[in-house]
Amino acid sequence: MSHELVVETHSLTKRYGTVEAVRDLSLTVERERITGFLGRNGAGKSTTIKMLLGMIRPTSGTGRVLGYDIADPAQSVEIRRRIAYVGEDKGLYGYMTVADLIRFTRSFYPDWQPDIEASLIREYQLPLGRKVKAISKGMRTKLALLLALARRPELIILDEPTEGLDPVSIEELLQTLQEVRAAGTSIFFSSHHLSEVEQIADRVLMIDKGQLVMDTLLSDLLNNYCNITLEFSTQSAMPAFDLVGIERTRVKGRQAWVLASSNVEGIVAHARSLDAVVQVTPVNLRDVFLDIVREAS
């Protein structure tokens, strides 16, 4: 089944002087899915998200969010009106109380969901009477999430939403995101926490040094990807080892490690025909992430 796209970029590039923060990035985010956006520190995740929101302009390339052009200032206003964003800087009015800020934000959104507001106030135990500037970092994140989720947006973009949350709150947030997705909201979120991504994402995009290095359904990764370790009796067999399904190969001496996304039987048969001793092991998201970023660095 092909999914409608809520985000689409083509060759998106952002340069800061000589730093190429995002390089030739073409990606899609599908409707009603949870898409995890992974990458090391400085990989270009926040820069990509800021371009999608029209907060910074691409150096080159194009992008659309909900069909609106990210480079057109008028259309990017519409993007920000239609989607919800929770970023590193929560951008909340510190001088208001929590209750005032909720009331103030509610007044801008006709589709505001009072039931979501009420249940998240309860779940997150938000201190309604306190000034926003006086609440903890984790509470500010929770408040920003409430303000985003109660709007019931078509798309919610979150930049490291679990930063600063305690383990219980992280579980609550992940559950809320799944509920929101079930109710029809598309979710695009960046994270360094592979276990969280593995827990809720339908699809995973990985970038490294500003470039897309992996785009897969999580179920495909968990069901089909595996590591194949090969030990050859001589080194000369390796150059011929290039088959369908091989995503990455690392070679050290007579040993090779292959990350395969499909065709495991074919790869194993080929390796055995070259007299290699073969071992196949399943992988998780963490293995694949480490494999890919290690190779890149």
Tell me whether residue 50 or residue 142 sits nearer to ligand ATP (CB atom): 50
Tell me whether residue 41 or residue 273 sits nearer to ligand ATP (CB atom): 41
Tell me whether residue 21 or residue 70 sits nearer to ligand ATP (CB atom): 21
Tell me whether residue 25 or residue 43 sits nearer to ligand ATP (CB atom): 43
Least distance (Å) between residue 126 CB and ligand ATP:
26
- From residue 5 to residue 44, what is the string marking binding to ligand ATP with x (rule CB under 6 A)? -----------x--x-x-----------------x-xxxx
Cα gap 30→130, rounded to integer Å: 38
SS3 112: coil
Least distance (Å) between residue 11 CB and ligand ATP:
17
What percentage of the chain's residues is helix, strand, coil (to nearest 5)? 40, 30, 30
Tokens 């926003």 belong to: 132
Give the rounded distance of the alpha carbon of 14 from its chain centre.
Answer: 19
Tell me whether residue 43 or residue 86 sits nearer to ligand ATP (CB atom): 43
Least distance (Å) between residue 284 CB and ligand ATP:
21
Tell me whether residue 55 or residue 251 sits nearer to ligand ATP (CB atom): 55
- 46 near ligand ATP (CB under 6 A): yes
Where do the H-state alpha helices sit in the chain? 45-52, 73-82, 98-106, 114-124, 137-149, 167-182, 194-200, 218-224, 264-273, 285-296
Tokens 């660095």 belong to: 297
The one segment of 45-53, 167-175, 246-254, 279-287 that binds ligand ATP by CB under 6 A: 45-53
Sign of CA dihedral 225, 207, 58, 80: positive
Least distance (Å) between residue 46 CB and ligand ATP:
3
- 87 near ligand ATP (CB under 6 A): no
* 170: CB partners within 8 A, 6+ apart: 162, 196
Least distance (Å) between residue 209 CB and ligand ATP:
9
Residue length of the chain: 297
What are the residues binding ligand ATP (CB under 6 A)?
16, 19, 21, 39, 41-47
